[in-house]
Amino acid sequence: MYSTLKRIARHGAKGFYEGKTAELIVQAMKKNNGLITLADLRDYRAIERSPVRGFFHDYEIISMGPPSSGGICLIQALNILKNYDLKSFGWNSSQYLHFLAEALKNVYAVRAHYLGDADFVNVPIDTLISDKFAQKMSENIHFDRAVPATELSVANPFQFEGNHTTHYNIVDKNGMAVAVTYTINSGYGSKAAVDGAGFLLNNEMDDFAIKSGNANIYKIVSFSPNLIEPGKRMLSSMSPTIIRKNGKFFMAVGAMGGPKIITSTLQTILNVIVFDMSLQEAINAPRIHHQWLPDKIYVEKMFFSLDVLDKLRAKGHTIETMGYHSEVTAILFDKETGELIGAPDFRWNGKASGF
Ligand code: DON
């Protein structure tokens, strides 16, 4: 042992994977019908990989990513458990242990189905350690009953991969900007893929009115100008937008979300220009939507005060609460710092990055 340590001290990794130590390992292999050869040892490389990161309340958790499942499972379990008032149940109380066990059951089921060496299989790490995914796993967790392991509906991280309209913006250091929206219409488009080509076919025909006055899947109505005709293109709500001030780049913005693309993009612009919000505030801020018909103000759930909603009703509005409205992304020129600020939408999984 002492000589082995000396060889490692002298030659680093080679003191183990090559030379005398390697030869001793291979001899031991031969003696015991093992398979490892000198070449296997010589070719082995340690790979440096990024850790996985998550948050448990105010604590940043930094741990090991694939090929270990450790960090992912740990963060997933914490992501699920941070939504329960664990302390109030009492340490090792039956209620605490029930939630702990149910969380672990889900985490290990996901581990079995989706984790492996990321050099060989696609491991969607960001999704797996997201709060959104924890929410999905938590749908299997009930206050008062255990879900049998075999009946568990194992959360699928790939269902969060983009299957819908996408908007992105790019601005370079000279203020040259692009704002791009592309759409396959609803989730997975027509749900038919082109064999061997690796892409889906869209269902953009739904953006036409199949009959004057008909509503499409987004319940939006259009009349004869948007009837289907040979060679004609359907009426979209895509709003990739570049805003300039005094001839210089100010903002690139756009969204996904069917007809809500327009209202979400509009409110983001108003929040920045009129209400002086930072870009991130402007995007995260609660939104409403009205598309003429149905004659309703759609408001994002739990975001608007009852007082405001009552006052709108008193003016004759019908209010309907909905889940999150669309996804906006934008880049803004910050006049104070001269920096370009990118902001994704907390509602989905956009990202901002710069070089
Ligand atoms: O072009 C349009 O208006 C629609 N095809 C957009 C659909 C859309 O944003 C769906 N995304 N969630």
Q: Is residue 255 part of a domain?
A: yes
Distances, alpha carbon 240 to alpha carbons 61, 180, 219, 243, 265, in Å: 37, 6, 22, 10, 9
Return the half-sphere exposure (C-beta side, CA atoms, 13 A cut-off) of residue 39.
1
Per-residue confidence (pLDDT) for residue 58, from 0 to 100: 86
Q: Is the separation of the CB atoms in 39 and 66 below 8 Å?
A: no
Q: What is the pLDDT of residues 247-256, one digit of tens each?
A: 999 999 999 9
Provide the residue range defining the domain that includes 3.
1-46
- Whether 222 lines ligand 1, by a CB cut-off of 6 Å, is no
Q: Is residue 189 part of a domain?
A: no
CA 267–ligand 1 middle distance (angstroms) = 18
Helix, strand, or coil (residue 86): helix
- Whether 257 lines ligand 1, by a CB cut-off of 6 Å, is yes
Q: Are residues 283 and 328 in the same domain?
A: yes
Q: Is residue 170 part of a domain?
A: no
For ligand 1, atom 8, the nearest C-alpha belongs to 258
Phi-psi label, residue 139: left if phi above 0, alpha if psi -120 to 50, beta otherwise:
alpha
Q: Is the separation of the CB atoms in 21 and 27 below 8 Å?
A: no
Q: Is the separation of the CB atoms in 79 and 155 below 8 Å?
A: no
Q: Are residues 41 and 79 in the same domain?
A: no
Per-residue confidence (pLDDT) for residue 8, from 0 to 100: 94
Q: Are residues 128 and 271 in the same domain?
A: yes
pLDDT-flagged residues of the chain (< 50)? none
Per-residue confidence (pLDDT) for residue 335, from 0 to 100: 87
Q: Are residues 141 and 245 in the same domain?
A: yes
pTM of the model: 0.64
Peptide bond preceding 344: is omega within 30 degrees of 0, i.e. cis? Answer: no
Q: Is residue 177 part of a domain?
A: no
Q: Is residue 133 part of a domain?
A: yes
In the chain, how many domains are there? 2
Q: What is the pLDDT of residues 145-187, one digit of tens each?
A: 999 999 999 999 987 665 578 899 999 999 999 999 999 999 8
Q: Are residues 302 and 154 in the same domain?
A: yes
For tokens 């018909």, the residue is: 293
Q: Is residue 124 part of a domain?
A: yes
150 is catalytic: no
Q: Are residues 246 and 125 in the same domain?
A: yes
For ligand 1, atom 6, the nearest C-alpha belongs to 258
Q: Is the separation of the CB atoms in 147 and 139 below 8 Å?
A: no
Q: Is residue 269 part of a domain?
A: yes
Per-residue confidence (pLDDT) for residue 292, from 0 to 100: 92
Per-residue confidence (pLDDT) for residue 163, from 0 to 100: 58
CATH code (residue 272): 1.10.246.130
**Catalytic annotation, pick one of 165, 263, 265, 268:** 165
Distances, alpha carbon 260 to alpha carbons 92, 235, 250, 275, 292, in Å: 47, 14, 23, 21, 12
Q: Indicate the length of the chain as a whole number.
A: 355
DSSP letters, 33-44, are T----HHHHHH-
DSSP letters, 263-305, are HHHHHHHHHHHTT---HHHHHHS--EE--SSS--EEEETTTS-
Per-residue confidence (pLDDT) for residue 1, from 0 to 100: 63
Q: Are residues 39 and 77 in the same domain?
A: no
DSSP letters, 111-171, are HHHH-S-TTTS---HHHHTSHHHHHHHHTT--SS-PPPGGG-----GGGGS--S-EEEEEE
- Whether 238 lines ligand 1, by a CB cut-off of 6 Å, is yes
**Residue 193, C-beta contacts closer than 8 angstroms, at least 6 positions apart:** 199, 200, 201
Q: Is residue 67 part of a domain?
A: yes
Per-residue confidence (pLDDT) for residue 161, from 0 to 100: 60
CA 53–ligand 1 middle distance (angstroms) = 33
Q: Are residues 101 and 247 in the same domain?
A: yes
Q: Are residues 29 and 157 in the same domain?
A: no
